[in-house]
Structure 1
Amino acid sequence: MKKIIIFSLAAIILFLLAFNPFGETPAVKFLDALNNEQRAKVQFPFDHTSKTFWHYFPASMTPRAGIQILDLNTTQKQLFNTLLQSFLSETGYSKTQKIIDLENVLLEATGDSIRRHPEKYFIAFYGNPETDSLWAWSFEGHHISLNFTVLNGTISASPRFLGANPATILSGKRKGERTLDREEDLGFELVNSLSDEQKKTAIFQDSSPFDIVTTNSPEVEPLNPVGIKFADLNDSQQIIFLKLVNEYLATIPVEQTNKRIERIQEEDLDMLRFGWAGATALGKGHYYRIQGQSFLIEFDNTQDNANHIHSVWRDFDGDFGKDLIKEHYKNSDHHKH
């Protein structure tokens, strides 16, 4: 009798494992903590149209799909933070929290609690991480848009948008505090390391655009190949260039960063271009882009007297997991038939 009971329990455990092959991941734990009403708000079919709509405006200006942090209880917020940390590096998580905290600075400066609120950021899931091999999720609101697609544990993480307003806090107890300063300072360091002759190639226009050129486009193609090639830089300039690229990659976990660096070295390195527009010192509008065969980085600090940063990483073939989706449909037995 005892053996029968043990066998039955083992069979039940095996059945449960088979039913939930992906285990209690941070994504599953977060979703399981939601009530039915919350779950209905946050979870959509994988191919829902809202998946590729993204923006960096405040939520009051541009409504988002999903559930906002404001509508979560304390335990759910903790589980969400664990989820976010699992998809970002320590650096990426820190930058994200600093950007969110700038909402408090804007709230204090404007008194506008409708537009400026640190918990008006939205979480949305596409597909089911508990049962699906292919699923996605996003986190976004003012100056943040993080989009992740997962296929059997492989993660695509683009578009990745991070912004900062104010880029430098100009008054109060936190006066002088900067957000996304590394992205800005390394850009200045690179452009100002160039010789006059190199600048003629690198600086493609005297004034900076008002915003990143690609804005919130759901899909992007390579822009005009402006700027100076990586191969036309000296050794010290190339080191600065790679530090700058790495600063954008440093937002995601090390394993993903290393894979992307390897890919850039194999496919993109000789084709990388650094293009600059606008002023070459703090205080006036400035913009740069880095473009390779597979990706685009844009950085703009022009608005609000050049104290308002927009920055983004785009993958030409991988935004919203396009490359993973192609792989899924190519290799899936269900879709083969």
Structure 2
Amino acid sequence: MTETSASPEHLTSRRGLFGLAGTIALVGGLAACGDSATASSTGTSSTSAAAGTSSDSLVSLAEAFAATLSDEQQSALYQDYTFDNAQNWSNFPNALLAGTVSVGGTASADGSTAPSGDLPSGAAPTADGTGTAPSGGPGGSNSTGRVGVQTDTLSDEQWTAFKALMAAATGTGENEGWDEIQQILNADDYLASIDSGGGYGSGNYFIAFLGTPSTSGTWELQFGGHHLAFANTYTDGALAGATPSFRGLEPVAAFDYDGRTNAPLAQEVAAFTAVLAALDSDQLAAATVTTSDLVLGPGQDWAFPDTYEGTPVADMTDAQKSLVLAAVTTYVADVSSADATTILSRYESELDQTYVCCSGTGQFTARGDYIRIDGPSVWIELAMQPGLVFPDTPHIHSVWRDRNTDYGGLTG
């Protein structure tokens, strides 16, 4: 299959969670973070979302999946609910965490080696320039990588049971929730078809239950691998936290794989572009920061800054505020609709205490393009990183965190 260019239809959004803010059309635009320009794309109505899955049903689906596993697989699946296990996620392919492959850095102008685009924030390449994950970095205390049962051990029956569980825990919109995750898995298989030695592929992801699924007590449904971290924490049957939630993507342009055209983060990019396109020159100037990489990527837990940066949403027009909320919704819509409505209501109530900052071109097509939405609760970042398999084009790293409910409130 060949990579294709992103077209306007890939940059439209389908949305079903805007009852709280009215119907919002995502207005795309070509904006520089420092230059204001306009263009537009029209959003379309969303696939109807399910009303949500009861905690009893979710637990039953978790138990049904576990029942399909062998004793050895169950031993890997069930892990202790500890902060060490909860924070054990990364943007790395698992083979890199385990030290079985290394990712070369990008040569800098002075001939030294710069960190690879898939190094997490704060990581540095090793002395030999390989960019191998540093000891004690993301991956936690498990030196062989992530915890849980590896997806390449699953039979078709087991995959089907796991998909039913994830479909219940995630959003049902197009390019959101489980659909978005499946496209990110497709992207990793696409990378594997081009670079077979890079540790890519949908078989290199891990599923873990931290604690025992139950409607009493606390447990986490953890699923992750290269460019993906899903972490839903439940307490007494209710969702206590849906973050950290990491999404990355290479290639960013739409590509054909597994019988479909994949562009899982096109809606996020379109929504962020629309936010920056709507700001006037003074607002863009106030929003501009020097940051160009994720501040709160893997391993940067509970390190929220004490001060806000950028343009306050309180100073924006109603139309601009709606665009900010639309951008936030592209992340919140990744969880089941009932939970997403609750979370979005909280974020909307705090919108006037929220800030937007950015750097780069504002179009999310160049290395170093960056945006952040930061409020009393919500924290969302997207950064364009150097390309790896496609070195001529940057790729996406993005994280959604919550100042209050990351890991369901669990701290180290």
1:25 aligns with 2:60: yes
Residue 252 of structure 1 corresponds to: 335
Tell whether the 8 Å contact from 2:244 to 2:407 is kept in structure 1 after alignment. yes
Secondary structure at the aligned position of 2:95 is classed as coil
Cα distance, 1:220 vs. partner?
A: 2.3
Residue 206 of structure 2 corresponds to: 122
What per-residue deviation string (whole Å, max 9, x for no partner) do you get for residues 217-254 of structure 1?
A: 25224334111111111122111111101111111111
Residue 149 of structure 1 corresponds to: 233
Tell whether the 8 Å contact from 2:360 to 2:370 is kept in structure 1 after alignment. yes
1:307 aligns with 2:342: no
Give the gaps of 5 or more residues in structure 1.
1-20, 326-337
Secondary structure at the aligned position of 2:212 is classed as coil
For 1:188 and 1:242, the matched residues in 2 are separated by 13
1:164 aligns with 2:249: yes
Tell whether the 8 Å contact from 1:65 to 1:122 is kept in structure 2 after alignment. yes
For 2:214 and 2:181, the matched residues in 1 are separated by 26
Secondary structure at the aligned position of 1:247 is classed as helix
Tell whether the 8 Å contact from 2:224 to 2:230 is kept in structure 1 after alignment. yes
Secondary structure at the aligned position of 2:268 is classed as helix
The range that moved more, 229-238 or 103-112, is 103-112
What per-residue deviation string (whole Å, max 9, x for no partner) do you get for residues 264-289 of structure 1?
A: 233x2211101011112353131000
Q: What amino acid does structure 1 have at the position aligned with 2:206?
A: F
The range that moved more, 65-74 or 278-287, is 278-287
Q: What amino acid does structure 1 have at the position aligned with 2:267?
A: R
Structure 2 CA distance for partners of 1:188 and 1:41, relative to 1, 3 Å? same
For 1:283 and 1:217, the matched residues in 2 are separated by 26
For 1:100 and 1:171, the matched residues in 2 are separated by 13
Secondary structure at the aligned position of 2:294 is classed as coil
Secondary structure at the aligned position of 2:231 is classed as strand
For 1:35 and 1:301, the matched residues in 2 are separated by 41
Q: What amino acid does structure 1 have at the position aligned with 2:297?
A: T
What per-residue deviation string (whole Å, max 9, x for no partner) do you get for residues 64-105 of structure 1?
A: 111111111111111111111111011211110000001122
For 2:87 and 2:288, the matched residues in 1 are separated by 32
For 2:84 and 2:365, the matched residues in 1 are separated by 40
Tell whether the 8 Å contact from 2:56 to 2:237 is kept in structure 1 after alignment. no
1:320 aligns with 2:355: no
Cα distance, 1:167 vs. partner?
A: 1.0
Structure 2 CA distance for partners of 1:197 and 1:86, relative to 1, 3 Å? same
Residue 30 of structure 2 corresponds to: none
Equivalent residue runs for 1:1-337 within 5 Å? 25-47=60-82, 49-62=84-97, 63-90=145-172, 91-112=176-197, 115-130=199-214, 133-155=217-239, 156-169=241-254, 178-205=263-290, 209=292, 211-217=293-299, 219-223=301-305, 224-266=307-349, 268-285=350-367, 286-304=369-387, 305-322=392-409
Structure with the greater relative contact order (CA < 8 A, sep ≥ 6): 1 or 2? Answer: 2
Report the number of matched residues: 299
Cα distance, 1:125 vs. partner?
A: 1.1
What per-residue deviation string (whole Å, max 9, x for no partner) do you get for residues 99-148 of structure 1?
A: 00011221222233x61211111001111115853211200001110011
For 2:66 and 2:217, the matched residues in 1 are separated by 16
**TM-score, normalised relative to structure 1:** 0.82
For 2:61 and 2:332, the matched residues in 1 are separated by 22
Cα distance, 1:200 vs. partner?
A: 1.0
**Greater radius of gyration (CA):** 1
For 1:272 and 1:204, the matched residues in 2 are separated by 16
Tell whether the 8 Å contact from 1:168 to 1:179 is kept in structure 2 after alignment. no
Structure 2 CA distance for partners of 1:274 and 1:131, relative to 1, 3 Å? closer
**TM-score, normalised relative to structure 2:** 0.68
Structure 2 CA distance for partners of 1:176 and 1:87, relative to 1, 3 Å? closer
What per-residue deviation string (whole Å, max 9, x for no partner) do you get for residues 285-306 of structure 1?
A: 3100000011210111132255
Tell whether the 8 Å contact from 1:159 to 1:313 is kept in structure 2 after alignment. yes
Report which of the two has the higher share of helix: 1
Tell whether the 8 Å contact from 1:230 to 1:269 is kept in structure 2 after alignment. yes
Structure 2 CA distance for partners of 1:34 and 1:265, relative to 1, 3 Å? same
Residue 10 of structure 1 corresponds to: none
Runs of 4+ with >6 A deviation: 170-176
Tell whether the 8 Å contact from 1:169 to 1:175 is kept in structure 2 after alignment. no
